[in-house]
Structure 1
Amino acid sequence: MSTTTLPDTFRDLEPHVAEWALPTRQERYDVRLSKDIAELERFYDAVAPHAEAAIDHLNGFDLADLPEPETRLLRLLYSLIMVSYPVNIFRQPRIPDSGAAFFDTTAEPAV
């Protein structure tokens, strides 16, 4: 029995699944806030080079009927998006000059 949780092509990303392939935006945002910028950069640098191939792979599936490995891959991409601004623009996990502002998600997109 395999312990792979992602499609075979993306097995290099397995170390990030447990922490980053989370089902809700709020969970992904909470992880982002719990990390320092170096940890966010490591995740970003590991996943970003695979993003285009991951999108191409996922385009071959119906979003409403994704198999579990593809769902996890999609969630990793969601997390990549979640950390892209802190890594590339803010240079910190929180939005600068936002004080105690935070997001409360009241509904998640259907996936």
Structure 2
Amino acid sequence: MTTTVDTSLPERFRALEPWVADWDLATRVERYEKRLSKTIDELQDFYDAIAPLAEEAIAYLDTRDVNALSDEDTRLLRLLYSMIIVSYPVNIFKQPRIPDSGAAFFDTAVEPAL
């Protein structure tokens, strides 16, 4: 008897499974809000997990048709988008918010089609 296991990421990137629940977010607004809800240590942990696999994940996704991504591939792409949103606070700001921005925020009128 064969059993199939339903997974949420392509096999090569399954080490990132613990991050899917928090960071598989469909819009930039959701990703930014998530970033602001996390501590810098939590952001650093996520970044440290995904950054070493980022180039390989991009190369993998480049072999796919962006207009026909599987659910697994879409999750991986969204994790990469989240990594980008997290990269600035981790590498530059050293805090979740933009320094000296007070209560300011930015909003997007239109999300990229995917």
Q: Which moved more, 1:101-110 or 1:10-19?
A: 101-110
Cα deviation digits, residues 24-78 of structure 1 (max 9, x gap)? 1100101000001000000000000000100010000111111110000000000
Residue segments in structure 2 that go unaligned for 5+ positions in a row: none
The alignment's TM-score, normalised by the length of structure 2, stands at 0.94
**1:17-56 superposed matches below 5 A:** 17-56=20-59
**TM-score, normalised via structure 1 length:** 0.97
Runs of 4+ more than 2 Å apart: none
The correspondence for 1:81, drawn from 76, 81, 84, is 84
Larger radius of gyration: 2
Alignment gaps of 5+ in structure 1: none
Using the alignment, how far apart are the partners of 1:19 and 1:107 within structure 2?
Answer: 23
SS in 2 for 1:23: coil
What is the aligned-residue RMSD (CA, Å)?
Answer: 0.8
CA offset digits 1:70-89 (Å, max 9, x no partner) = 00000000000000010000
- Structure 1 residue 10 and structure 2 residue 16: aligned? no
Q: What is the percent sequence identity of the aligned residues?
A: 65
Number of residue pairs matched by the alignment: 111
